[in-house]
Amino acid sequence: MKSTERAFGLAFSKMPLFSYSAGFPLPYGVSLQKGGVNFALFSRHAVRVWLLLFEDVHATEPFQVVELDPEHHRTGDVWHICVQGASRGLVYAFRVDGPNAPECGHRFDARKTLLDPYATALTSPPSWDFAGFCSSTSEEEASQDASPPVIVKNLVTGNGFDWEDDRLLYHPWSDLVIYETHIRGFTIHPSASTKLPGSFLGVIDKIPYLKRLGITAVEFMPLQEFNPTELTRVNPDTGERLRNYWGYNTIAFFAPYEGYGTRLYPGCQVDEFKTMVKALHKAGIEVLLDVVFNHTAEGNETGPTLNFRGLDNCIYYILEEDKRYYKNYSGCGNTMNCNHPVVRNYILDCLRYWVVEMHVDGFRFDLASILGRDCNGNLVPNPPLLEQIAEDPILRDVKLIAEAWDAGGAYLVGRFPGERWSEWNGHYRDDVRRYWRGDLGMAGAFVSRLCGSADIYEHSGKAPINSINFVTCHDGFTLNDLVSYQHKHNRANGEDNRDGSDCDFSANYGWEGPTDDPGINRIRLRQMKNFMATLFLSRGVPMILGGDEFCRTQRGNNNAYCQDNEISWFDWTLADKNREFLEFVRGMIAFRRRHCVLSSERFYKPEDVSWFNPSGWMPDWHTDSAIGGHIHAVENAEQQLCLFANPHTHAVSFLLPHPPEGFVWSKMIDTSATPPFDVCQVGHGIPLYHESSLLVRDRSLVVLVAERSG
C-alpha cells in the first residue's frame, strides 16, 4: 500500500478518481465552477493540507485523498483546489498538519478529520452518534495512533431552489410581535398533529395557528449544526441520557441542522429550511435566527477538535497568557476571537449567506457582549465587528438583536454599541416580574418599562424599538411556571439543581407546582394575564416565549437545555385546556394592533401621558404601588387610553380622569374578569357613563378606551 493509503486508510472504490487543478482562493468554502467544484480553506499556520473525498454519506473512509501542494494550491493563508468533474452532492472533509505546540496556541493534528467552517450542509448516516467523531484532544489521546472513523462530513450543495417571488419582509419594528420557539419542540409532541413532526417542514403546519395568534416574526432557537449527543450525564431519576436540546454549541455556522430535515436525500435540510422560510414569508411572518458566534462546540483544552481548533486555534479563539488554555467569557469553555480580522470576515460572510441564500430577516446574537471584546478579552468602545455588521450593505436593513451581556460580567443593556442594535431588555423582564409579584418600590420602574425604557435607552440616542420587551424566554421559567414555582426544580438535568438562575422573581401563591386549589389557580391565571397585558401595552418590541400563550410548563425546570422530552416539547392539548388564556393573549395582540399609540417608535413626551395614584395625585414613586396612567394621544382622541395597575392583595378604588370632550370611557381590558370581559372585542366594551371612580380588584390591570358618546 502506498504511504498515502497507509496514512488515510483509503477505501477500495469503483468510483474513478477525480482530476484537479490549482483552483481559486476566493470565495471561501465551496463554490460550483464550470466543470467542477472549487474548495478554499483558510489556515495561516498549516504546513500541509489534504482534501478527503468520500463515495457517499455512509463511507467512513475516503476513496480519494489529495494533498494540496503549497506552491500551486496556496495563496497567502488560503489553501485552494478545484476538483474537475465534481458537482453537487460530493462528500468531503479536510485534514491539516502544522505545529502541535499548545503552549504557543497551536493544536494541529494531521490525524483529525476536520469539517469545513464554510460548509453549507453536513451529512451523516441515518443513525449516528457524534461521539466517535468528536473525540478529545487530551494528552492521553495524543499518544494513540488511530484516528476515530469519520462519521460526520461536509456536503457540497447547490443553489437551485426555486424561491419564486420570495423577498425579505422588512416589517417595521413597530409591527413586530416576536414568537420565540424551538424547531423540534414546537411540533415533535404527538399532540402537534403535524405530518413531519420536529422538522423544518413541520413548522409549516403551524403557520395558520401563528397567523391567527397575531405573530409577525418567529425567532428560532439555534438551528445551525450542533451535536445533540455531546452530553455524558444522565437523568438521575430515570437513567435517560441527556441531550443538547437547545443547540447553543454550534459546529457549522453555515449549515442548517440535519436533524431538523427529513433525510429524504443528503442535504435536503437546506431545501426544507428554505421551504419553511418561503411559507412563513407568504403568511407575512419574518424569520429571525438565534446565532451563537460567541463560542463553538470545541469547548476547552480537553474538548473535541472539529474544525476551528484544527485549522488555526490561535486565530479563532481568545487564549489565556498560557496559550494552552482558553479565556471563557461564554461559560462554555472557549470564546471566539470575534474581532480578529479573519474571524470578523467569517462572521460577516456567514450572516450574508443566511440573508442572501436563505432569506432570513434578522438575527438574535447570543451573549452579544462578547462580539465587542478584543483579542485580549477586553471590551472596546467601538467594536469593529459590531460596526461592520450594522453598516454592511447587505445586512443594512435586517433585524439585529443583541443579548447584551455575557458570562464574563459584561452587562451592556442600554449601552450596547450602535443605534441599529435592539436589545433583549433584561431590566424589563425583572422589573415587570417584581412589580406584579408585589415587591415594594417598583412602581417607578414598572412605569418606565411601560413607556419604552427611556431611562435606559434615550441617553444614547436610541428609541423604544431598541428594547425587546419580554417577561419570559427560553432561558428561565415558562410563564406558567413563573407563577407556579417559588424555586427552580432542575434535578432532571443531573447537576444537583446547581444550574439555572437562582433569581427568577417568581412566586407560587401558596403551593409549589400544580394544584387543584381553585383560589390559587385563579390568582395564577390573573397574574399571567397581568404579565401578557403589560407586555402588549408597553412601548418597545414585544416577544413571547412559544407555548406561554397556552400555559406550557417545564415542571419548574428553569434551564431545560438538556431535556429533549416532554419537559420541553409543546403539548398542544393545553391549547384547548387553557383556551381562556390563549384567547386573552390573542385579544391583547389585536388590541395593541388597533391602538398604534402603544407601538410608536418614539418615547412619550411629558404631555403625552400623565400618571396618578388612586387619589388622582402624582404618585409617590417610593411608596405607591397601585398606579394609573392617562395616555392623552392629543392628535387622535380615539387612541386615548387610561390604564390602572394594582399589584396589591386587596382591591383599590381610583378616581377617574375626565375623558376627552364628547367621549366616554369604556372598559376594554380587565384581567380580573372572566371572558369575554377580560379583553373585549371592538364595540363590546363596558361604558362608564357616570362613574367618577373605578374599583380595581386585587392583583389586576384595567384599561379604558375613549369612545364617542351617543
Q: Which of 116, 290, 403, 475 is catalytic?
A: 403
| Ranges in the chain, pLDDT < 70 | 1-14, 126-149, 634-635, 710
> Which residues, in sequence order, are bridge partners of residue 545?
180
Q: What is the pLDDT of residue 607?
A: 92
DSSP 123-143: E--SS--GGGTS-B--HHHHT
Q: What is the pLDDT of residue 136?
A: 42
Q: What is the pLDDT of residue 14?
A: 67
Q: Which of 366, 406, 678, 707 is catalytic?
A: 366
Residue matched to cell numbers 489556515: 43
Residue matched to cell numbers 438535568: 493
* Alpha carbons 5 and 8: distance in angstroms, whole number: 5
> Do 604 and 451 touch, CB atoms closer than 8 A?
yes
Beta pairing class for 78-84 and 74-75? antiparallel
* Alpha carbons 549 and 289: distance in angstroms, whole number: 21
* Alpha carbons 18 and 83: distance in angstroms, whole number: 6
Grid coordinates belonging to 583: 384567547
* Alpha carbons 338 and 315: distance in angstroms, whole number: 10
Domain made up of 3-155: CATH architecture: Sandwich (2.60)
> Do 175 and 137 touch, CB atoms closer than 8 A?
no
Q: Where are the domains of the chain?
A: 3-155, 605-708
Grid coordinates belonging to 87: 458537482
* Alpha carbons 468 and 477: distance in angstroms, whole number: 18
Q: Using CA atoms in the order 475, 476, 478, 481, what is the torsion angle rounded to 10 degrees?
A: 170
Q: What is the pLDDT of residue 293?
A: 98
Domains 3-155 and 605-708 share a fold: yes
CATH of domain 605-708: 2.60.40.1180
Would you call 366 a catalytic residue per the annotation?
yes
Task: Burial-class residue 373 by CB neighbours within 10 Å (0-12, 13-18, 19+).
Answer: buried
Residue matched to cell numbers 394544584: 515
